[in-house]
Amino acid sequence: MEALLQLSGVSKQYGKGSQLFHAVSDAAFSIYPGETFGLIGESGSGKSTLGKMVTGLEYPTSGSLLYQGSPLWNGKKFNRRKPGEMQIVFQDPQSSLDPRMKVQDIILEPLWALPAEERRQKGSTERLHALIARVGLKPEHLPRYPHEFSGGQRQRIAIARALITDPTFVILDEPTSALDVSVQAHVLNLLKELKRERGLTYLFISHNMAVIRYMCDRMAVMQKGRIVETGTVEDIFKHPQEAYTKTLLSSLPSLHKENASLHA
């Protein structure tokens, strides 16, 4: 099967000279259609930077990124190919949703990148109402502002916003880390259902092993900008090869409450 996304030798450096900082070094992995690929590592390990490079929010310093076999990045320019095909959901819906915009405008905003006819079709009232109902929102929520909602509801708004373009590939960057544990489980289950219903492929970024185990098929472990281990979630949980992965796994027992709520 052809990879949906294939990274090789992807690096990102910030600063120059004595300030030079290697945020991501030589990252390589492939994500196949229909899978959820997890990226785990502690804070500052470079996960978000990698996610941003995949979507063109940050440009790599070097390396190759292929989407369905075609380069996303040619060394100078990011080639978005089909607008809206790739979307991202960020960790903190409080800061990722524009507080001055109404929910309806926030959800419809990504459609402005599409050609007029497609924008009209995908932005129809019928489709918008069906989508918000699917993520657990109501039509009366549409004229309101983000601050009027709870954290979980705001993340549902962010999910609707990501899905309005009918993407193939969605990057979920710590999508539930800012939420209460009980709300987390609901949002994770919603993401799982949406993936099944829409045939989505996910890159799921998290620092939480329990969440990665619940959500992902395969995973990569990142430490200080480098990918130190890649494999199926089952293999890595049963037979971690790297000391760093073992350390991440050893933090799991303290997360048993989170696990319990995930499986509730």
Ligand X SMILES: Nc1ncnc2c1ncn2[C@@H]1O[C@H](COP(=O)(O)OP(=O)(O)OP(=O)(O)O)[C@@H](O)[C@H]1O
Which residues here bind ligand X, judged by CB under 6 A?
A: 14, 21, 23, 41, 43-49, 207
Closest CA to 36 of 234, 199, 204: 204
Give least dist CB 94 to ligand X, A: 15
For 174, residues 6+ apart whose C-beta sits below 8 A from its C-beta are 48, 90, 91, 205, 206, 207
Tell the smallest beta-carbon distance from residue 220 to ligand X (Å): 12
Least Å from the CB of residue 180 to ligand X: 19
Do 65 and 6 contact (CB within 8 A), yes or no?
yes
Query: Which of residues 35 and 174 has its CB atom nearest to ligand X in the complex?
Result: 174
Of 47 and 156, CB closest to ligand X: 47
Which lies closer to ligand X via its Cβ, residue 54 or residue 103? 54
Q: Is 146 or 225 the residue whose CB approaches ligand X more closely?
A: 225
Amino acid making up residue 215: M
How many other CB atoms are found less than 10 A from the CB of residue 245? 22
- What whole-number distance in Å separates Cα of residue 32 and Cα of residue 202? 9
* Length of the chain, in residues: 264
Instruction: Report, in Å, the least distance between residue 21 CB and ligand X.
Output: 6
Nearest one of 145, 161, 153, 215 to 178, comparing CA atoms: 153
Q: Which is nearer to ligand X, 89 or 135 (CB)?
A: 89
Question: Tokens at residue 186, please?
Answer: 């609901």
At its nearest, how many Å lie between ligand X and the CB of residue 14?
3
* Cβ nearer to ligand X, comparing 18 with 43: 43
Q: How far is the CB of 59 from ligand X (least distance, A)?
A: 11
Cα–Cα distance, 28 to 137 (Å, whole number): 38
Ramachandran bin of 46, using left for φ above 0, alpha for ψ from -120 to 50, beta for the remaining angles: left
